[in-house]
């Protein structure tokens, strides 16, 4: 039977990211986002809003970028998977568990703080050393796409191609 564990979220950071390093030197970043849901209450006819708070974990280069460029209140797009952590509470001895999101991709939504701009989709950073607008490492082909290309297809993508072009590219070469 097939299974899928994929999450895509846009929210605002509820605190500054906390970056630490494993004994082998791998960066790990813990942060949390608030995701708002607006809806119309069918009973009262009033607009309502609910907020969900989610813990996010980033690893490696993404963790370092988040620690360097993100801060409380900044909007961010996270693509990742759910993971259940279980442990025994030292004080009470009870079993505890918590679901968190392990990020596999991250995109900054707005431009640098204080610039007033929203979007960031067309920027690769600015002359003042701003962040890259997008850093989303992927393993394998995007969902629904074949890993092998037909021999007749040119090495550059046609104008109507909507998938990522990653073959032979570096992080700074991401087209957007």
DSSP the chain: ------EEEEEEESS--EEEE-TT--EEEEEEEEEEEEEE-TTT--EEEEEEEEEEEEEHHHHHHHHHH--TT-EEEEEEEEEEEEEE-TTT--EEEEEEEEEEEEEE-B-STTS--B--TT-S--TT-PPPSEE---SSPPTT--SSPPTTS-SSPPTT--S---TT--GGG---
Strands 95-108, 7-13: pairing is unpaired
Q: What is the pLDDT of residue 1?
A: 86
Q: What is the pLDDT of residues 13-26, one digit of tens each?
A: 999 999 999 999 99
Q: What is the pLDDT of residues 111-169, one digit of tens each?
A: 655 544 444 333 333 333 444 444 444 444 344 444 343 343 333 334 444 444 444 44
7-140+157-173 under CATH 2.40.50.140, yes or no? yes
Closest CA to 103 of 46, 58, 44: 58
The domain limits of the chain are: 7-140+157-173
Higher pLDDT, 140 or 35: 35
Closest CA to 55 of 94, 13, 8: 13
pTM of the model: 0.61
Q: What is the pLDDT of residues 68-126, one digit of tens each?
A: 999 999 999 999 999 999 999 999 999 999 999 999 999 998 865 554 444 433 333 33
> For all residues of the chain together, what is the average pLDDT?
75
**135/3 Cα distance (integer angstroms):** 26
Strands 27-40, 18-21: pairing is antiparallel
Higher pLDDT, 165 or 4: 4
Q: Are 139 and 118 in contact (CB under 8 A)?
A: no
Q: Are 118 and 133 in contact (CB under 8 A)?
A: no
What are the residues whose beta carbons fall under 8 Å from the beta carbon of 66, sequence distance 6 or more?
A: 17, 19, 29, 31, 58, 76, 106
Q: What is the pLDDT of residue 60?
A: 95
């Amino acid at each position: 039977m097939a299974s899928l564990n994929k999450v895509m979220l846009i929210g605002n950071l509820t605190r500054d990211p906390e970056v630490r390093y494993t004994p082998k030197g791998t960066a790990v970043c813990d942060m949390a986002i608030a995701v708002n849901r607006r809806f119309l209450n069918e009973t009262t006819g009033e607009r309502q809003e609910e907020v969900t708070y989610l813990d996010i974990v980033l690893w490696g280069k993404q963790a370092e970028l988040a620690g360097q460029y993100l801060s409380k209140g900044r909007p961010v797009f996270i693509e990742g998977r759910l993971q259940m952590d279980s442990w025994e509470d030292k004080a009470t001895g009870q079993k505890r568990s918590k679901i968190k999101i392990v990020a596999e991709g991250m995109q900054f939504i707005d431009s640098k703080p204080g610039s007033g701009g929203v979007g960031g989709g067309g920027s690769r950073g600015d002359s003042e050393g701003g962040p890259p607008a997008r850093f989303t490492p992927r393993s394998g082909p995007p969902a629904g796409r074949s890993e092998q290309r037909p021999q007749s297809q040119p090495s550059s993508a046609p104008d109507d191609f909507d998938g990522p072009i990653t073959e032979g590219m570096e992080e700074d070469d991401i087209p957007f």
